[in-house]
Amino acid sequence: MDDFLWGVLPYLCIASLVGGTVWRYRYDKFGWTTRSSQLYESRLLRIGSPLFHFGILLVFFGHVGGLVIPESWTEAVGVSEGLYHFNALLFGGLAGVCTLVGILILVYRRRTTGPVFMATTKNDKLMYVLLVAAIVLGLWTTLVSVGAGSEAHNYRETVSPWFRSVFFFSPDVASMAAAPIQFHIHALVGMALFALWPFTRLVHAFTAPLHYLFRPYVVYRSRDKAGASGSRSGRPGWSGVGTTDRDRQR
């Protein structure tokens, strides 16, 4: 059972995430959007959405820090286990609470604002259930740790090695199996969320527009260039139909 949960499932989940994203990007660019509902309702969104997003981004970086960076590295730069955990609990907890409050506002808004509710699909509902569950369970692990004080389970000795080992194709099932139950459930829900990610509106996070900082303000594009919107880009061995005189002229 542990082998399946921590040895097979992660790969199924990654396959779904990567494959699904590639598939969606190739075949459903038109559906790749935030599906903003600000046109319908702005007041609650302006509180809830930034709260949630800034929170979840912090949470994301927190996870990167906790899962990817080995304990030995942080200790090498002189951050003790206790200090690390204090920080993680404080900032992680704060970010988590922001995220939770944010998403609760968003869900409340979705349910009570007529037009926004009308525009909510089944897909959205499933996504919200998983997202809220993941956040709540994540906060639960934090709370349990706080409650346990210095006895708290050090996930950087169980969950983190397992997480990294997954990417080296030799999943360290044993250390994950040794983690307490709340971590197990949180990880499972997280995996479900990632498996579903490419098929929901969450894909918008993958196209976070950071290149905006670097591109010129005015964008020129030629009508004739292959690959422009609507025209299929060239494939080797095929030549296009019709005249390409403008290109030839150049």
Partner 1 sequence: MRVMAQMGMVMNLDKCIGCHTCSVTCKQAWTNRAGTEYVWFNNVETRPGQGYPRRYEDQETWRGGWELGKRGNLKLKAGGRVQKLLGIFASPVLPKLADYYEPWTYDYQTLINAPLGDDFPVARPKSLITGENTKITWSANWDDNLGGASEMGELDPIVAKLNSSVRRESEEKVKFEFEKTFMFYLPRICEHCLNPSCMASCPSGAIYKREEDGIVLVDQDRCRGWRQCITGCPYKKIYFNHKSGKAEKCTFCYPRIEVGLPTVCSETCVGRLRYLGLFLYDADRVTEAAATPDEKDLYEAQLDLILDPNDPQVKAAAKANGIPDDWMDAARRSPVYALAKTYRVALPLHPEYRTMPMVWYVPPLSPIVDVLSNQGHDAESRETLFGAIDALRIPVDYLAELFTAGDTDVITGVLQKLAAMRAYMRDVSLGRDGDPSIPESVGMSEETLYEMYRLMAIAKYSDRYVIPTAHVERAHELEEIGCSLDFDEGPGMYESGPFGEASGKPAPVAVETFNALKRRQTSDTAMTSDSSGELQGRVNLLNWDGNGAPPGLFPSGKGQRS
Site residues, ligand HEM (CB under 6 A): 34, 36-38, 45, 49, 53, 56-57, 106, 110, 202, 204-205, 208
Q: Map the footprint of partner 1 across residues 187-246, applying CB under 8 A.
A: 204, 207, 209-213, 215, 217-224, 229-230, 243, 245-246
DSSP H or E segment with residue 23: helix 9-27
For the chain, the straight-line distance linking the first and the last C-alpha, in angstroms and rounded, comes to 64
CB neighbour list of residue 164: distance below 8 Å, 6 or more residues apart: 67, 68, 70
Under the phi-then-psi rule, with left for phi > 0, alpha for psi from -120 to 50, and beta for the rest, what region is 116?
alpha
Identified binder of partner 1 from the candidate list 2, 69, 70, 115, rule CB under 8 A: 115
Total site size for partner 1, rule CB under 8 A: 49
Among 3, 4, 11, 46, binds partner 1 (CB under 8 A): 46
140 three-state secondary structure = helix
Please tell me the distance from the alpha carbon of residue 129 to that of residue 123, in angstroms, as a whole number: 10
151 counts as binding partner 1 under rule CB under 8 A: no
135 forms part of the interface with partner 1 (CB under 8 A): no
Residue with tokens 């506002």: 105
Decide which of ligand HEM, partner 1, none touches 229; Cβ closer than 5 to 8 Å per partner kind: partner 1
118: contact with partner 1 by CB under 8 A = yes
CB burial string 73-96: b at 16+ within 10 A, e below: ebeeeeeeeeebbeebbeebbebb
CA distance 216 to 39: 28
**CB under 5 to 8 A by kind: which of ligand HEM, partner 1, none does 101 bind?**
none
* Interface residue list for partner 1 (CB under 8 A): 29-30, 32-42, 45-46, 48-50, 52-54, 114-115, 118-119, 204, 207, 209-213, 215, 217-224, 229-230, 243, 245-246, 248-250
